[in-house]
Structure 1
């Protein structure tokens, strides 16, 4: 991923499709109200990693690049081959805004 940070809700997972498989990106939690394992997708959202990856592989025939998994709403999106394509897709979902310092 690029050097810029991507801040998103926990129910959104960023996944990268590489030639040798899928890589679920892990981030740093900066606010945590619950004492649960936030990597346990089945406990939190009723979706297993296998189910999530099966849904993602149906998009663009599992083409290499970056994907978003909205586990709360069970929506999956292909972003593109560059990590820079993630933020615009998040903004389409109403998450985040354009940094006023960027032009």
Structure 2
């Protein structure tokens, strides 16, 4: 769940969201909603390690995008691709749809 309690985003585990506020990066670790193999829930640090990176490395890549502008960022930690989404939680959902993940909500005006 993102900072806006009215915005929920479904995405693969290798996509990670961060919020830049001031000089701080806050990585948002979501909830698992489908776990067919009953795997244990990993910490956010273990998730990054499992994909051969760290939150520090990803934050550096985010900063390279546009100098650390405030707002929401999205990282594909499997393919090492990084995106600036925008200032609002809904911007993350829009970016994921642009990347082919998910479908637009017919009840929301993007």
Alignment TM-score, normalising by the size of structure 2:
0.83
Corresponding pairs, count: 102
Partner of 2:8: 5
Partner of 1:87: 93
Using a 3 Å threshold, how does the CA distance of structure 1 residues 75 and 101 change in structure 2: closer, same or farther? same
Tell me how large the CA RMSD over aligned residues is. Answer: 1.5
From 21, 24, 42, give the equivalent of 2:24: 21
Q: Does 1:98 align with 2:104?
A: yes
Task: Render the CA deviation track for 1:36-60: whole Å, top value 9, x for unaligned.
Answer: 6252111x20011111111111111
Q: Residue 94 of structure 2 aligns to a residue in which SS?
A: helix
Partner of 2:62: 56
Alignment TM-score, normalising by the size of structure 1:
0.88
Range 70-79 or range 28-37, more displaced? 28-37
Q: Residue 10 of structure 1 aligns to a residue in which SS?
A: coil
Partner of 2:79: 73
Q: Residue 58 of structure 1 aligns to a residue in which SS?
A: helix
Q: Which runs of 5+ in 2 are unaligned?
A: none
**Where in structure 1 do 4 or more consecutive aligned residues deviate above 3 Å?**
33-36
8 Å CA contact 2:7, 2:89 repeated in 1? no
8 Å CA contact 2:17, 2:75 repeated in 1? yes
Range 33-42 or range 5-14, more displaced? 33-42
